[in-house]
Amino acid sequence: MADTYDYIVVGLGGLGSATAWELARRGHRVLGLERFELGHARGASHDTSRILRHSYHTPAYVRLTQEAYADWARLEREAGTSLVTTTGGVDLFPPDPAIAPVDYTQSMDEVGIAYEALDADQVMVRWPQLRVPQGTLGLFQADAGIVPAGRTTAVLHDRARSLGAVLRDHSPVLGLEDLGDAGVRVTTDGAEVTARGVVVAADAWVNDVVGHLGLRIPLEVTLEQVTYFGLEHPDRFAHLPLWIWMDDPSFYGFPTYGEGTVKAAQDCGGPSVDPDDRTSDPDPAMEARLVQHMQRMLPGVGPAVRRLRCQYTLTPDRDFVMAPVPGHERVVVGLGAAHGFKFVPTFGRVLADLVTTGETRSDVSAFGLDRPALTEPDYQAHWLV
């Protein structure tokens, strides 16, 4: 490992790996540091699948999804592999939902994203596997799709390395020092490296890193659980759209994807945890809640055959962070707020922009570190979106 690089990326999950790829493809000398082994399952970027969609609750997010689709296409082209599987997606708002459909319809209307508004009977005619109560509104958006979490992260590692990036795992960052015009010094066990700038994409552990600069981001880390259900007739679930149950509790699920099961989970259903002291064991109570919902909405699925734990890192407003540390512009933070994987190549592009030039063409005005949700101690957290 050299002792100077142009840029250093801390954390090589989806966000950090995309940033390392983006900086390397722009010809910069990049060092990526990961505390665990590459591709580990302790963070948020492992497992088979993540939802990619346009349907979002603000026009700014909907616009950012348009960029994300273009960024995924660019990654696929440059990696020479297909990553996006289009399935369509239906957001299901039961009567008197906890999540307002108007936020979604107005946001997609404003940006010009086409969708269909379906009533309960139309939903059940189109997808006989689904059971929804009368009065349910279904918003179907045809471009929704699935991206592979673990595989994408591995593709990004390969792309970054093939473009000259040095990626080191089992290399925890233990110190961060802003040297002003001399750059930023990063300490990892047994070595000190300096660079013009640093991108911190450490998700649940971000405060361990930016804490060295006196910053503490108010975050909640929860331990979520996804469950794979067996199917007697997998082909009957192959053309199911992605679905999101827009209520409290909120659930989401996938059609079959590379295996004869369907995956589903509750959004924000897990307990708060310390990321350094948490279990990987399944949680029977979380599963029981999910199974109850599945029995109502997708009665044709079989018993659970596999479970997986995964961490959510939640900002109080569930908005991203794509911004420099105030007073330390050479250190840029990226946080996906537990809905960032669909934007992985976009995070890579934007974080690379911000650390190299301080500017980006994307609208990230809502994702600063000085916003009220991250600075006002009595800000009321709300995570259901």
Ligand X SMILES: Cc1cc2nc3c(=O)[nH]c(=O)nc-3n(C[C@H](O)[C@H](O)[C@H](O)COP(=O)(O)OP(=O)(O)OC[C@H]3O[C@@H](n4cnc5c(N)ncnc54)[C@H](O)[C@@H]3O)c2cc1C
Question: Which residues of this chain interact with ligand X, rule CB under 6 A?
Answer: 10-16, 33-36, 43-45, 50-51, 172-173, 201-203, 205, 208-209, 224, 226, 265, 310-312, 336, 338-342
Could you give phi then psi for residue 66, rounded to 5 degrees?
Answer: -65, -40
| 8 A C-beta contact, residue 99 and residue 251 | no
Residue closest to ligand X (Cβ): 13
State which amino acid sits at residue 185: R
Output the smallest distance, CB 96 to ligand X, in A.
25
Of 20 and 111, nearer to ligand X (C-beta) is 20
Burial of 129 (0-12, 13-18, 19+ CB in 10 A): middle
101/336 with CB nearer ligand X: 336
CB of 14 to ligand X, least distance (A): 4
Which among 118, 159, 202 has a CA at the least distance from the CA of 30? Answer: 159
Query: What DSSP character marks residue 240?
Result: P
The tally of CA atoms less than 13 A away on the side-chain side of residue 210 is 30
Q: What angle do CA 349, 353, 357 make, to 5 degrees?
A: 170
Q: Which pair of tokens denotes residue 56?
A: 């979002």
- Distance between CA atoms of residues 341 and 50, nearest Å: 7
Q: Provide the 8-state DSSP code for 147.
A: E
Q: Least distance from C-beta 50 to ligand X, angstroms?
A: 4
H or E element that contains 173: strand 173-178
CB of 3 to ligand X, least distance (A): 18
Of the pair 15, 297, the CB lying nearest ligand X is at 15
CB of 347 to ligand X, least distance (A): 8
Q: To the nearest whole angstrom, how small is the minimum distance from the Cβ of residue 121 to ligand X?
A: 28
Minimum distance, C-beta of residue 227 to ligand X, in the bound complex (Å): 10
- Specify the residue, 120 or 317, whose C-beta has the smaller distance to ligand X: 317
Output the smallest distance, CB 216 to ligand X, in A.
15
Q: Which CB sits closer to ligand X, 95 or 175? A: 175
> Among residues 25 and 35, whose Cβ is nearest to ligand X?
35
For ligand X, the closer CB: 52 or 118: 52
- Between 33 and 352, whose beta carbon lies closer to ligand X? 33
Decide if 166 contacts 33 (C-beta within 8 A): no
Q: Nearest approach, Cβ of 341 to ligand X (angstroms)?
A: 4
Closer Cβ to ligand X, 127 or 254, answer by number: 254
User: Which helix (H) or strand (E) segment is 24 a member of?
Assistant: helix 14-25
In the bound complex, what is the minimum distance in angstroms from residue 357's beta carbon to ligand X?
Answer: 22
DSSP secondary structure of 42-109? SSSS-SS-EEE-S--SSHHHHHHHHHHHHHHHHHHHHHTS---EE--EEEEE-SS-SS-HHHHHHHHH
Give the number of C-alpha atoms closer than 13 A to the C-alpha of residue 361, restricted to the C-beta side.
Answer: 4
Q: How many other C-beta atoms are found inside a 10 Å radius of the C-beta of residue 329? A: 14
Q: Which is nearer to ligand X, 10 or 64 (CB)?
A: 10
Write out the E strands in 235-326.
Answer: 242-245, 250-253, 261-267, 304-314, 321-325
